[in-house]
């Protein structure tokens, strides 16, 4: 029999009292998955807890519970302008086009060990339980669900946007206050090799493109060289939500 242990780190000294329980029901007809949740008060008799009659768990109550369970995601009700999507297990934000340092540690016959401050396109970052991702944006404006995503033109980022962290020490949480930490880890990385079939639409390939960037060939990032992924921001959020839901249903 497999056993699990849960460690509770209480921020404030307080005793925990069992007050309610949530029952979750799943239905799967082969094409669509549905779920229903009911919340039940707890009655104590002879020192033993008993479930009372339940009532549907409404979205507002579920959100309040999520905030209580994930205090690091609280923002006092206000979201920074760069945050696009924030849930207990998923944080998504964008970074406007900018100039930042980037470093490479490649073989001598490709790019070698080089670094410098270069222009970057607007970027979309996503961090969650299943790793972190980054995509490029063609326009330097706050994205909407209809915004098209492009391949991030960086080494160590695959076609799905997944970032290979290697030995980098990534932040341990996905609180909004940690966004700068996530970005710093990304741009302080030593990029080593292409992980996607096509990073940029440069006629001589990714190594030649970044060599030109480091040589100062472009004063602003050449948006026309971005590779479209044929997926919008809204479609990507839906896809990741489905992946998370499927993983939670696995025994």
- The more confidently predicted of residues 241 and 73 is 241
Count helices and strands in the chain by DSSP H and E runs: 4, 12
Summarised one tens digit per residue, pLDDT across range 158-217 is: 999 999 987 678 888 888 989 999 999 999 999 999 999 999 999 999 999 999 999 999
**Residue 214 included in any domain:** yes
Q: Is residue 11 part of a domain?
A: no
* 174 & 108 share domain: yes
Q: Are residues 149 and 193 in the same domain?
A: yes
Q: Is residue 10 part of a domain?
A: no
DSSP conformation letters of 231-249: EEHHHHHHHHHHHHHHHHH
Same domain, 56 and 83: no
Whether 82 and 199 share a structural domain: yes
Phi and psi of 71, rounded to 5°?
-60, -25
Model confidence over 225-246: pLDDT tens digits?
Answer: 999 999 999 999 888 877 777 7
* Rounded-to-integer distance, Cα 147 and Cα 167, Å: 32
Both tokens assigned to 93? 């934000």
User: What is the C-alpha separation between 236 and 181, in angstroms, rounded?
Assistant: 23
User: 94 and 41: one domain?
Assistant: no
Instruction: Classify residue 89 by burial, with Cβ atoms within 10 Å: 0-12, 13-18, 19+.
Output: middle
Say if 13 falls within a structural domain.
no
β-pairing, 131-137 vs 148-151, is antiparallel
For residue 31, the enclosing domain spans 20-69
Do residue 112 and residue 228 come from a single domain? Answer: yes
**Minimal CA–CA distance to 231: which of 155, 136, 116?**
136
Q: Looking at the domain assignment, is residue 35 inside a domain?
A: yes
Residues 59 and 147 in one domain: no
Are 111 and 235 in a shared domain?
A: yes
Shared-domain flag, residues 116 and 182:
yes
Instruction: Say which residue the tokens 């100039």 belong to.
Output: 99
Say if 122 falls within a structural domain: yes
Of the two residues 227 and 7, the one the predictor is more confident about is 227
- Among the three residues 69, 98, 126, which one is the final residue of a domain in this structure? 69
Q: Which of 110, 92, 104 is nearest to 205 (CA)?
A: 110
Instruction: Flag whether 89 is in a domain.
Output: yes
- C-alpha 25/C-alpha 115 separation (Å) is 53
Residues 6+ apart with CB under 8 A from 153: 121, 136, 199, 200, 206, 209, 225, 226, 227
Spatial CB neighbours of 234, under 8 Å, sequence gap ≥ 6: 144, 145, 146
The number of distinct structural domains making up the chain is 2
Last residue of a domain, one of 46, 69, 92: 69
- 36-72 pLDDT, tens digit per residue, is 889 999 898 888 888 899 899 887 777 667 656 654 4
- Classify residue 90: in a domain, yes or no: yes
Radius of gyration of the chain (CA): 23
């Amino acid at each position: 029999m497999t056993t699990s242990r849960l460690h509770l780190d209480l921020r404030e000294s307080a005793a925990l009292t069992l007050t309610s329980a949530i029952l979750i029901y799943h239905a799967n007809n082969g094409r669509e998955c549905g779920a229903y949740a009911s919340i039940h008060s707890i009655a104590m008799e002879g020192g033993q807890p008993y479930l009372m009659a339940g009532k549907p768990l409404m979205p507002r109550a579920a959100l309040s519970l999520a905030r209580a369970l994930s205090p690091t995601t609280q923002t006092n009700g206000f979201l920074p302008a760069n945050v696009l999507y924030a849930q207990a297990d998923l944080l998504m934000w964008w970074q406007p086009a900018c100039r930042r340092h980037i470093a490479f540690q490649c073989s001598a016959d490709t790019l070698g060990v080089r670094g410098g401050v270069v222009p970057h396109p607007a970027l979309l970052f996503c961090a969650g339980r299943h790793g972190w991702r980054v995509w490029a944006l063609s326009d330097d404006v706050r994205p909407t669900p209809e915004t098209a995503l492009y391949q991030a033109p960086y080494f160590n980022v695959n076609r799905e946007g997944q970032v290979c962290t290697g030995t980098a020490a990534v932040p341990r949480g996905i609180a909004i206050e940690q966004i700068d930490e996530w970005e710093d880890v990304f741009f302080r990385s030593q990029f080593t090799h292409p992980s996607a079939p096509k990073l940029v639409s440069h006629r001589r390939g990714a190594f030649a493109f970044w060599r030109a960037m480091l040589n100062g060939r472009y004063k602003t990032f050449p948006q026309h060289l971005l590779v479209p992924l044929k997926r919008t921001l809204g479609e990507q959020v839906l896809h990741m939500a489905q992946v998370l839901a499927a993983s939670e249903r696995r025994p």
